[in-house]
Structure 1
Amino acid sequence: MEEIWKHARALRNEATDAERHLWQHLRGRRIGCKFRRQYPIAGHIADFACIEAKLVIELDGGQHLERSAEDAARTRRMEANGYRVLRFWNDDVLVRAMDVLDEILRHLGSVR
């Protein structure tokens, strides 16, 4: 198995609270599209990806404040591969989950 897939599996097993919370809303086509979690795209591992809609959802914690240049490069690489990338702060997912889901649904609706 390729190393990136092993790393993705490890990340799935070590999900953050925000990732686990959002996954409960995305799994099993609960919002109408199939999402995968910790899915390799363009040499990076996306937190969540809907392949059919070419949509990536990234959740950022406090450590991302120092990694904004890396995150921007990662986003550009995924976009160059045809994906749209939505970024949300972990706190938004935990405190305002319905607002986050509304935003995701709005982006999914624009591709249907």
Structure 2
Amino acid sequence: MPNVPRPTRDLARTLRRQMTLPEVMLWQHLRGSPAGLRFRRQHPVGRYVLDFYCSSRALAVEVDGYVHQLAAQTSHDEVRDAWLADQGVTIMRIPATDVLRDVDAVVGAVLATARSLSVR
């Protein structure tokens, strides 16, 4: 993985303190290493901060709120996702509404996706 610039590390620390409700809900399930998979929250990679990251499977889980539906954000997300894919990271995008509606189903999908990826 590429070096992380100091401003990105600082941003990650700030984002850990300012997580959205869907992020908090998902983190409550992922923080205990479910199924033996360790997740980090607001994890910096390069110049980006990932909502959740499982390093053993190189899986990024992004909880997308309404702003990710806007054209400008969509194009930014595409560039970001392409860069992460070049680094070997698989990106899983989950609408925030799905987390709010059924967090258990979302956790199940995240764990199934992680288990389907090769161990790094």
TM-score range, shorter chain: over 0.9
Matched, 1:29 2:33: yes
Q: TM-score, normalised by structure 1?
A: 0.93
Give 2:24's aligned amino acid: R
SS of the residue corresponding to residue 28 of structure 1 reads: coil
5+ residue gaps, structure 1: none
| % identity of equivalent residues | 33
Report the alpha carbon displacement of residue 28 of structure 1 after superposing the two structures with TM.
2.3
Which residue, out of 3, 6, 10, partners 2:10?
6
Deviations 1:10-44 (A, max 9, x none): 00000000000000000021342111111111320
Name which structure has the greater RCO, CA cutoff 8 Å, separation 6+: 2
Give 2:51's aligned amino acid: D
Matched, 1:99 2:105: yes
CA distance in 1: counterparts of 2:114 and 2:17, whole angstroms: 27
Matched, 1:68 2:67: no
Aligned length in residues: 112
5+ residue gaps, structure 2: none
After TM superposition, where is structure 1 displaced by more than 6 Å over at least 4 residues in a row? Answer: none
